[in-house]
Amino acid sequence: MNAVTQKEKLTAKDFATDQEVRWCPGCGDYAILKAMQKAMADMGQSTEDNVFVSGIGCAARFPYYMATYGFHTIHGRAPAFATGIKLANPDLNVWVVGGDGDMLSIGANHLMHVLRRNVDLQVLLFNNEIYGLTKGQYSPTSREGTKSPSTPLGSVDRPIDACTYALGAGATFIARGIDSQQKHLPGIFQAASEHKGASFVEVLQNCIVYNDGVFNEFTDRDVAADRQVHVEAGKPLIYGADGNKGIRLNLKTLSLEEVVVGENGVTEADLLVHDPSNHTLAGMLAAMNGRDLPVALGVLYCSREDTYEAAVHDQINAAKSSAKITNFNDLLRTGHTWVAGG
């Protein structure tokens, strides 16, 4: 690193730029930005070693508002740019920011590959189930029947679930948060940053203009406690306004079910205990959508695997230390050569 003197710990404000933030008033992105700036300060991060890379969309304006390095690129391709950045300089802490349209439509291919390669960076997908910047068309996460300018009769596409997709692509870290939850979001970002490998974070984000209230069925104050479960490693999957609801595995159907502790002989011991290294459990948690079962929030999955950039650099270093030919003049003279003329 470049620091030669002990620097003062930065505050959340130090991560804000002098640029006027231009999201719609009430946009969930403001809260996410605030949470990120807080997370940066909490982690004791520097501004110079962090890079935010984004594609196109409302969410993709994020880098302009972080006083770090930033690269606003092209639609859907931020993971590919980020891969090049991380390979070129593994010391950088690289964040990828995009929306559901950006990363699950045009960029789904790159998202898949950055996750399966396990490049050590953080992918933040702000999911509002709608295209904001292009004015309200349905997105790959929009529910069937979504009425939009391009689907006046309702969409007939089947939606994709972001976390399930990430898990299928081989992500080694998957977390989910909600824009308005300032208590949880900075911690999720911090956990993602600390994870060695590709971290995937879905932030459920409200688009006040084109899809207002899309998550109300589990975010409204009067239902939130009963429709959200905040998962924590080693803790039972327990939630509810009265703190007595829980998630149990039904062994007959191999599916999760909601139970009430104290009813029908159910005790806390019957509930599933969260283990972020359990891939099967992560899949089941990711699929919970807040309707039949509560939506799962927090770190759903975390598994330690070798990172891509480390493997690439190991190969380069091994080649450097074992190569017989290490200068260009020798390289150009390998193989069959002959002297002519003279």
Each residue 74-93 as x (binds other proteins by CB under 8 A) or -, in order, gives x--x-xxxxxxx-xxx-xx-
In three-state secondary structure terms, 273 is strand
DSSP 178: E
Tell how strand 245-250 and strand 122-127 pair up: unpaired
Query: Residue 184 phi/psi, 5° resolution?
Result: -100, -35
The yes or no reply on residue 3 touching other proteins (CB under 8 A) is yes
Q: Tell which one of 34, 72, 196, 248 touches other proteins (CB under 8 A).
A: 72
Q: Which stretch binds other proteins (CB under 8 A): 29-37, 257-265, 276-284, 334-342?
A: 334-342
- For the segment 13-32, give every residue that binds other proteins (CB under 8 A): 17, 19
The letter for the amino acid at 230 is: H
* Alpha-carbon gap, residue 156 to 146, rounded angstroms: 8
Which secondary-structure segment (H or E) carries 204? strand 199-204
Q: Is 44 in the site for other proteins (CB under 8 A)?
A: no
The interface mask with other proteins, positions 277-316, x = CB under 8 A, is -----------------------------------x--xx
Using the Cα atoms of residue 255, residue 203, residue 217 and residue 168 in order, give the sign of their dihedral: negative
Task: Answer for the pair 24, 136: CB distance below 8 angstroms, yes or no.
Answer: no
Contact 120, 200 (CB under 8 A): no
Count of other CB atoms within 10 angstroms of residue 119: 26
Indicate which single residue of 153, 251, 269, 340 sits in contact with other proteins (rule: CB under 8 A). Answer: 340
Closer to other proteins by CB, 111 or 293: give it: 111
CB of 278 to other proteins, least distance (A): 29
Of positions 9, 48, 135, 292, contacts other proteins by CB under 8 A: 48
Interface residue list for other proteins (CB under 8 A): 1-3, 17, 19, 46-49, 51-54, 63-64, 66-74, 77, 79-85, 87-89, 91-92, 109-110, 112-113, 312, 315-316, 319-320, 322-323, 325-329, 331-333, 335-342
